[in-house]
């Protein structure tokens, strides 16, 4: 998938009220991306975080939304009411689109990775803002997320 998109591709999981990036692949010509393997970002400030928060239990969402939300750029949503609307949009669309949430020059697009029991991760791409190729990227992300989820499910069931 990453070779076809030729942009930063990363896998993040929910960890200590943040998104923890556990894998990242980068392309040489890809745009700006501040995330690092083992790096964390606030849930409200990245496409991966939006996906993880959108598919979290309502009580967890309420706790996060009642806490101060960190602003990384002028586009980062820090208003709880606005963020609730964004999370509903993520669930409806099945993916998060976050233009300029971290850096004004970049857009993040993320989809949930499910192992059949629930969302276990978010798979995302970071690309230059204004060059998102949204339908193509979302389709590729969803296919890859399905493959990752099936592999995770197989591992989970084979270990029991």
Q: What pLDDT digit, counting tens, does each position of 49-66 carry?
A: 999 999 999 999 999 999
Checking if the pLDDT of 153 tops 50, the result is: yes
Residue 158, Cβ neighbours under 10 Å: how many?
Answer: 7
What digits encode the pLDDT tens for the residues 3-35? Answer: 455 678 999 999 989 999 998 676 666 454 555
User: How high is the pLDDT of residue 37?
Assistant: 62
Tell me what pLDDT residue 6 has. Answer: 66
Q: For 93-125, what is each residue's pLDDT tens digit? A: 999 999 999 888 889 999 999 998 899 999 999
> In the chain, what are the domains?
2-158 (3.30.450.40)
Q: How far apart are CA 88 and CA 151, in angstroms?
A: 28
Cite the beta strand spans of the chain per DSSP E.
Answer: 8-15, 18-25, 40-42, 96-99, 106-114, 119-128
* pLDDT computed for residue 2 by the predictor: 42
Q: Which residue from 100, 147, 102 is spatially nearest to 123, judged by alpha carbons?
A: 147
101-140 as b/e: b if 16+ CB within 10 A: bbbeebbbbbbbbbbeeebbbbbbbbbebeebeeeebbeb
């Amino acid at each position: 998938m990453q070779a076809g998109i030729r942009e930063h591709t990363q896998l993040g999981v929910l960890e200590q009220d943040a998104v923890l990036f556990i894998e990242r692949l980068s392309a040489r010509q890809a745009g700006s991306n501040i995330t690092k393997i083992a790096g964390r970002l606030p849930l409200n400030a990245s496409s991966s975080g939006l996906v993880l928060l959108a598919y979290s239990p309502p009580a967890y969402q309420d706790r996060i939304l009642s806490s101060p939300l960190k602003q990384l750029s002028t586009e980062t949503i820090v208003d709880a009411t606005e963020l609730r609307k964004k999370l509903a949009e993520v669930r409806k669309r099945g993916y998060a689109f976050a233009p300029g949430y971290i850096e004004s020059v970049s857009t993040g697009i993320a989809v949930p990775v499910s192992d059949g029991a629930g969302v276990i991760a978010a798979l995302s791409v970071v690309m230059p803002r204004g060059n998102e190729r949204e339908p193509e990227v979302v389709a590729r992300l969803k296919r890859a997320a399905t493959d990752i989820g099936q592999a995770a499910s197989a591992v989970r069931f084979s270990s029991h």
